[in-house]
Amino acid sequence: MAHPVDLVFHATLPSDPRLLLFVRTLAGEGASAAGFSDDERGRIELAVVEGFTNVIRHAYKDRHDQPITLRLRAPVGSFDLQIEDRAVFVDPAKIASRPLDHVRPGGLGVHLMKTTMDVVDYRKNEFGGTTLTLSKRVPGGAS
């Protein structure tokens, strides 16, 4: 079994949905490096993909040529990822999932992120856009 290692990654990618597999793989490798179980790794991957997808769909209105910056820190015991856009900042109070009893596709990304991650935080960034921070600690692990 591989030993967990500290992982740091920083890149700016275009808002292209073809990069979702790369983003998912990056999140998964970060989660594994931090020491999360395979089950938790899968949930973290989905939460990160939802965050990246939401930037493409909502912040950039499906434009595929806009910058999204990812900053990943995954020391042993924790996973911290920032997804930063340069669109117009949206008040976090207006970012919400639809009610779970409404049976239809879509609208569950925020719910998924909030039930998976320990921290889901939206802040205005230096570009006037939004920085989404997703953080999680390994249960009983280093902090």
Mean pLDDT, residues 121-136? 96
Neighbouring CB atoms inside 10 A of 137's CB total 17
Mean pLDDT, residues 73-95? 90
Determine the Cα angle at 31 with ends 110 and 112, to 5°: 15
Predicted local confidence at residue 95, as pLDDT: 63
Predicted local confidence at residue 86, as pLDDT: 97
Is residue 23 within 8 Å of residue 16, measured between CB atoms? no
Q: What is the pLDDT of residues 101-115, one digit of tens each?
A: 554 444 567 888 999
Percentage of the chain exceeding pLDDT 90: 74
Average pLDDT over the chain reads: 88
Is residue 45 within 8 Å of residue 70, measured between CB atoms? no
**φ, ψ at 20 (rounded to 5°):** -60, -35
Global pTM?
A: 0.87
Strands 130-137 vs 119-124: parallel, antiparallel or unpaired = antiparallel
Mean pLDDT, residues 23-37? 96
Predicted local confidence at residue 110, as pLDDT: 85
Mean pLDDT, residues 70-96? 89
Give the N- to C-terminal CA distance of the chain in Å, as an integer: 22
Alpha carbons 46 and 29: distance in angstroms, whole number = 13
Q: What are the structural domains, with CATH classification, of the chain?
A: 7-137 (3.30.565.10)
Tokens of 34: 């931090």
> Among 20, 18, 47, 11, which residue's Cα sits nearest to residue 31?
47
